[in-house]
Chain A
Amino acid sequence: KQEVTQIPAALSVPEGENLVLNCSFTDSAIYNLQWFRQDPGKGLTSLLLIQSSQREQTSGRLNASLDKSSGRSTLYIAASQPGDSATYLCAVQTGANNLFFGTGTRLTVIP
């Protein structure tokens, strides 16, 4: 069964810092990988989707990379802002079509 791990579980940084969130998965036979943001008590907002054939995707201050062979992905956030404070979830989609999620990284950006 696919297992997804996210490190660290929580992270606090001062405003303006660049940061990296890590995601690893055990089975490299994936169709795609998605990064989501979840605010407290809210649903999931899709940030970036990387197809298995791609190496990275960028959206604004966010950059996600994928190394499928090693089972790793990173989410890079540039010039962090207090509004970036949320839980970030990584999920991989396998041939079973459903997503396997990590437990998330809770990010706090301190003004």
Chain B
Amino acid sequence: GAGVSQTPSNKVTEKGKYVELRCDPISGHTALYWYRQSLGQGPEFLIYFQGTGAADDSGLPNDRFFAVRPEGSVSTLKIQRTERGDSAVYLCASSLNVNNEQFFGPGTRLTVL
């Protein structure tokens, strides 16, 4: 079956702009996670959803970052007033339920000029 998909694969934007990154999880997976990976580092947790609600958003760096999952499937990560330091690969993962194996999408490479 289809894996986790993310769009766009690449996004280049200018400092101060607003961006949205989309994640389509594996069908039937109730848990969805967002991570951010900087060059040469391992992914760092941002936020996780169980169903429609954000169960843990403790990894969001500041209030410019926000994520939604209104129908319990697709999720959108939203970044306002982008800064150059936001440049990274944003990874989405889903799992059948919490504490199950997580499956990752290919990521969105965000570049803020």
Binding site for B on A (CB under 8 A): 4, 31-32, 34, 36, 41-46, 49, 89, 91, 93, 96-104
Please tell me the size bucket of the interface on B. Answer: 20 to 34
A96, B55: Cα distance in complex, Å: 9
Choose one: A34, A36, A45, A99; the contact of B45 (CB below 8 Å): A99
Q: A97-B98, A98-B56, A100-B45 are in contact. List 14 more A-B contacts (CB 8 A).
A: A34-B102, A43-B104, A43-B105, A44-B93, A49-B101, A93-B102, A98-B48, A98-B59, A99-B33, A99-B35, A99-B93, A99-B102, A101-B42, A103-B41
* Residues 83-102 of chain B, each 1 if its beta carbon lies under 8 Å from chain A, else 0: 00000000101000011011
Q: How many A-B residue pairs have CB under 8 A?
A: 61
Binding site for A on B (CB under 8 A): 31, 33, 35, 40-45, 48, 55-56, 58-59, 91, 93, 98-99, 101-107, 109
A92, B98: Cα distance in complex, Å: 13
Q: Is the CB of A96 within 8 A of B101?
A: no
Shortest distance from the beta carbon of B109 to any chain A beta carbon, whole Å: 8
A89, B45: Cα distance in complex, Å: 14
Q: Is the CB of B45 within 8 A of A44?
A: no
Choose one: B31, B55, B101; the contact of A46 (CB below 8 Å): B101
Q: Is the CB of A36 within 8 A of B104?
A: yes
Shortest distance from the beta carbon of A50 to any chain B beta carbon, whole Å: 10
Known contacts A98-B33, A98-B56; A46 and B104 CB within 8 A of each other: yes
